[in-house]
Homo-oligomer: A and B are copies of this chain.
Amino acid sequence: MERNGTAYSSKDFSSDQDVRWCPGCGDYSILKQMQTVLPELGINRKDLVFISGIGCSSRFPYYMNSYGMHSIHGRAPAVATGLKAANPELSVWVITGDGDGLSIGGNHLIHALRRNLDINILLFNNEIYGLTKGQYSPTSELGKYTKSSPLGSIDHPFNPLSLALGADATFVARTVDRDPTHLREVLKRAHEHKGTSYVEIYQNCNVFNDGAFEPWTDKKQRDANSIILQQGQPLVYDGGNKGLRLDGLKPQIVDLTEGFSQSELWVHDEKDATKAHILSRFFNHEPGPDKFPRPFGILYSEDRFTYEEAMQNQLDKALELQGKGNLDELIRGKSTWEVE
């Protein structure tokens, strides 16, 4: 699926359809970064496919000048599974929302993750059902007031990254609509990962859930509340003022301004499942000084054979064992008789 010859520009990936999200919607930024990063990825446009379900986010494929399918609610991972398994040459991207991917589509999602096809699943998490005008979603925080929860939501929300890790995902990352550079970087890594890349993207729905991610996007707060993960680097945040260390299994926040040495810090290792687990659990809904910062970047990445490879191997093996299928032999079977 690599492209030779002339390079693309981001415009090459814009379709001719008017983009119809609400003005100010975080989806615009994600679309833009996708179109911006694609020329760098070396994917031949003819091999590029976006598959989505239903939701505001799921309109994404219409705006991409590539192949695409706006399927039905929650089923995009299954559609993508069939597509990629049937045609491994394609670069397949699933676009889904927190409702589409974690509510109605939760099962397909976790099964896709365990099967590990080489596809990329981008979950636009705005912690709300946007398209149906504002009901709480499986990622909405407890007590959230919405149209369908006038006294506050009583549903303990999913932790989308823990869930993915529990489902044996081989690539688990988080990024956010408001940080274009980081977003592009994560998209690139997702593309590079051979296997199912699962990327949660915090996306602001300014109409029904404005400011849901302010602690991690607002210029004043975000440094203190977020930690950017970098492979092999110590976990430092808050402009270098704070860091994390591990005391046995227990993570601790340390104050680097008080002479704590960087060498004692927890070093990020995206291959370490237990560390990824602990990081995914930094999930306090109302962050504060004594709370752990929300991690952004690649929490976990593991090499595992892909489903489509294994499938193709079996076809090869069948060829080897049984020989190329001969239709007449198949139809004739093993025992026949003649009637004259």
Which residue from chain B places its CB closest to the CB of A317 in the assembled complex? Answer: B151
Chain A positions 266-319 with a Cβ under 8 Å from a chain B Cβ: 272-275, 277-278, 281, 304, 307, 310-311, 314, 317-318
Q: Which of A156, A163, A274, A304 has the most CB of B within 10 A?
A: A156
**Distance of A107 Cα from B116 Cα, bound (Å):** 18
A159 in contact (CB, < 8 A): yes
Is A235's beta carbon under 8 Å from chain B? no
- Chain B residues lying within 8 Å of A318, measured Cβ to Cβ, are 151
How far apart sit A163 and B272, CA to CA, in the bound complex (Å)? 18
Question: Smallest CB-CB separation from A161: which chain B residue?
Answer: B166
The verdict on A53 contacting chain B, using a C-beta distance below 8 Å, is: no
A143-172 toward B: CB 8 Å interface, digit per residue (1/0)?
000000001101111110011111110000
A110 touches B (CB below 8 Å): yes
Instruction: Give the number of times this chain occurs in the complex, counting copies.
Output: 2
CB distance from A171 to the nearest CB of B (A): 14
B246–A307 touching, CB < 8 Å: no
CB of A73 within 8 Å of the partner chain: no
Query: Of B110, B159, B165, B272, which is within 8 A of A168 by CB?
Result: B159
Known: A151-B314, A281-B273. A106 touches B115 (CB 8 A): no
Find chain B residues with CB under 8 A from A168 CB.
Answer: 156, 158-159, 162
Within the complex, the shortest CB–CB distance from A100 to chain B, in Å, comes to 12
Rounded to whole Å, the gap between the CB of A315 and the closest CB of chain B is 9
Smallest Cβ distance from A116 to chain B, in angstroms? Answer: 6
The listed residue (B167, B275, B317) touching A163 by CB distance below 8 A is B167
Cα A166 to Cα B103 with chains together (Å): 15
Query: What distance in Å separates the Cβ of A219 from its nearest Cβ neighbour in chain B?
Result: 32
A307 in contact with B154 (CB, 8 Å) = yes
Whether a CB of chain B sits under 8 angstroms from the CB of A111 is: yes
Q: Are B162 and A166 in contact (CB under 8 A)?
A: yes
Please tell me if the beta carbons of B156 and A304 are within 8 angstroms of each other in the complex.
Answer: yes
A154 touches B310 (CB 8 A): yes
Fill in one digit per residue for A245-262: 1 if any B CB lies within 8 Å of its CB, else 0: 010111000000000000
A138 within 8 A of B: yes
Could you tell me the distance between the alpha carbons of A320 and B178 in the complex, rounded to whole angstroms?
A: 42
The contact of A249 among B107, B116, B164, B249, by CB within 8 Å, is B249
Compute how far the CA of A249 lies from the CA of B158 in the bound complex, rounded to whole angstroms: 25
Cβ A106 vs Cβ B116 within 8 A? no
Interface string of A167-194 (1 = CB under 8 A from B): 1100000000000000000000000000
**A166-B165, A166-B167 are known contacts. Are A156 and B110 too (CB-CB below 8 A)?**
no
Query: Residue of B at shortest CB range from A249?
Result: B274
Cβ-neighbour of A246 out of B157, B249, B278 (below 8 A)? B249
By a CB distance below 8 angstroms, the chain B residues around A157 are 114
Question: Which A residues have a C-beta under 8 Å from some C-beta of B?
Answer: 103-107, 110-111, 114-116, 138, 151-152, 154-159, 162-168, 246, 248-250, 272-275, 277-278, 281, 304, 307, 310-311, 314, 317-318
7 A-B pairs within 8 Å (CB atoms) are namely A106-B111, A114-B157, A154-B311, A165-B166, A166-B167, A246-B249, A277-B277
- Report, nearest first, the 5 A-B pairs whose CB atoms are least far apart: A166-B166, A107-B107, A154-B310, A106-B107, A249-B274
